[in-house]
Amino acid sequence: MNQQHWTRDGELPAAPAGPEAAPPAPGSLQALERVGQTQLPDADTDLYCITIIGQIEGHLVLPPQNKTTKYEHIIPQLVAAEQNDKIKGVLVVLNTVGGDVEAGLAIAEMIATMTKPTVTLVLGGGHSIGVPVAVAGRYSFIAESATMTIHPIRLTGMVIGAPASWEYLERMQERVVRFVVDHSKISEAQFRELMMKTGELARDIGTTVMGKDAVRYGLIDDIGGIGKALAKLRELVDASAPPPQTPPQKPVIQ
């Protein structure tokens, strides 16, 4: 049985210092809640990583059981990365099923218009409106096991049966096609053929493109994973860095 030894003042002595008695740091508890581990790698780097996972959430809030990426969270991160002088390049990692068209296009436009080098990497899947986001960087990679689903824009819920509704849908489709064609090497005819192909998907028209096929079509630049993506981003950062300035030489006085 453990006995407690009291001091003269009638108080218990302080607990002995040691790793078992020391409480966890507040930062460790937050890391445990967020990523499931207490020790995180050092983030002292000039490359910034943004992840787009699950479903891209737009103007409507999705059910809580859906894993989502909110565009109002991604856009401020891109603005902050653009303004931060310490950040030299941005890596965008995608594993998304798609989502809101306008939200996806907004994120894609933000990535495409950044002045700093950007590299995109598709892991798992970059489907639907994730395709414009995947091609928005200066260079794009896709894992060999990843896929990209290309299909026409679809509407869910009640639709007003008027000619203007179908005209709006066609114009929105044209925005997606134009962005993908302008930011990749795929031709418009090839992209539309993949989009309107029948028999590839179970309940819809469209095409599921594997990693190597995405590169073959010109949709994605290269096959690769995180190592090749970071190496390419570092190459782009070094290429965009201004040359070192040599101090002016003073004239020699004889």
Angle at 54 between CA 49 and CA 59, to 5 degrees: 100
Residue 93 has which token pair?
């990692």
Residue 120 has pLDDT above 70, yes or no: yes
Mapped onto helix, strand or coil, the DSSP state of residue 235 is: helix
Question: Does the structure show a pLDDT above 80 at 6?
Answer: no
- Predicted local distance difference test score (pLDDT) of residue 168: 80
| Structure-token pair, residue 33 | 């809640």
Q: What is the pTM of this model?
A: 0.78
Q: Is 128 a catalytic residue?
A: yes
Provide the pLDDT for residue 254. Answer: 61
Q: What tokens were used for 185?
A: 């090497």
Extents of the domains making up the chain: 47-240
Which range has the worst mean pLDDT, 5-19, 61-75, 110-124, 212-226?
Answer: 5-19
Query: Is 151 a catalytic site residue?
Result: yes
- Could you give the CA distance from residue 28 to residue 169 in angstroms, rounded to a whole number? 48
User: What is the residue whose two structure tokens read 């599921």?
Assistant: 208
Give the pLDDT confidence of 199-239 residue by residue, as tens digits: 888 777 899 999 999 999 999 999 999 999 999 999 999 99
Q: Which CATH class is domain 47-240?
A: alpha beta
The one catalytic residue among 127, 128, 140, 183:
128
Using a 10 angstrom Cβ sphere, with 0-12 exposed, 13-18 middle and 19 or more buried, the burial of residue 56 is buried
Position of tokens 């689903």? 149
Average pLDDT value for the chain? 84
Please report the sign of the dihedral spanned by the C-alpha atoms of residue 30, residue 31, residue 33, residue 37. negative
Predicted local confidence at residue 25, as pLDDT: 60
Q: What is the pLDDT of residue 165?
A: 78
pLDDT, residue 60, reads 81
Contact 77, 50 (CB under 8 A): yes
Please, which contacts does 240-246 make with residues 24 or more away whose CB atoms are closer than 8 Å?
A: 240/116, 240/117, 241/88
In sequence order, the β-bridge partners of residue 50 are: 92
Catalytic residue among 5, 140, 145, 151: 151
Statement: residue 42 has pLDDT above 90 = no
